[in-house]
């Protein structure tokens, strides 16, 4: 599966079946996206490859450990290495046709915006939760 940023300069490939998405409702994701949440998934590093535009990627890291990478040309969130070092956090919206994917876990629900109404059957976790860590 190929993902890309809005301007199309940063592209990458995931050689894994993308099925289980996380939706993070934490206060930092709200500010970073300007929206209610951020949706993405974890991909093992060996199954991830940059295809183009790696030189355009900027990163920001908070002291708490939160980090985000983005295309310096268009501002889109792009994958970044998760703090465990062996996997990437990959934004789901970068892919055009994730037909088999669905949100399995909502995380940091305790911090969600008051106007954020969570729908669907996915499990809601008060704080952090990840199956593969
Ligand atoms: Zn871009
Ligand atoms: Zn978050």
Domain boundaries of the chain, sorted by first residue = 2-124
* Least confident interval from 16-20, 72-76, 92-96: 16-20
pLDDT band (50, 70, 90) for residue 126: very high
**Cα-to-centroid distance, 29 and ligand 2 (Å):** 4
pLDDT band (50, 70, 90) for residue 131: low
**Cα-to-centroid distance, 22 and ligand 2 (Å):** 10
Among all ligands shown, which has an atom nearest to the Cα of 53? 1
Query: Is residue 41 pLDDT above 90, yes or no?
Result: yes
Which residue(s) pair with 78 in the sheet? Answer: 69
Hey, what CATH topology would domain 2-124 get?
2.170.150
**Cα-to-centroid distance, 7 and ligand 1 (Å):** 4
**Cα-to-centroid distance, 15 and ligand 1 (Å):** 21
Model pTM score: 0.92
CB of 57 closer than 8 Å to CB of 69: yes
Among all ligands shown, which has an atom nearest to the Cα of 62? 2
Mean pLDDT of the chain: 94
* Residue of 21, 25, 1 whose CA lies nearest to 11: 1
């Amino acid at each position: 599966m190929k993902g890309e940023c809005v301007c199309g300069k940063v592209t990458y490939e995931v050689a894994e079946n993308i099925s289980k998405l996380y939706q993070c409702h934490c206060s930092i994701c709200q500010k970073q996206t300007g929206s209610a949440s951020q949706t993405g998934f974890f991909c093992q590093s060996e199954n991830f490859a940059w295809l183009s535009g790696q030189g355009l990627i900027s990163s920001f890291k908070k002291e708490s450990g939160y980090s985000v990478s983005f295309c310096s040309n268009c501002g889109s969130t792009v994958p970044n290495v998760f703090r465990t070092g062996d996997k990437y956090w990959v934004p789901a919206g970068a892919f055009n046709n994730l037909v088999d994917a669905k949100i399995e876990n909502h995380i940091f629900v305790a911090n969600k915006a008051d106007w954020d109404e969570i729908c669907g059957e996915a499990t809601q976790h008060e704080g952090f939760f990840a199956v593969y860590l």
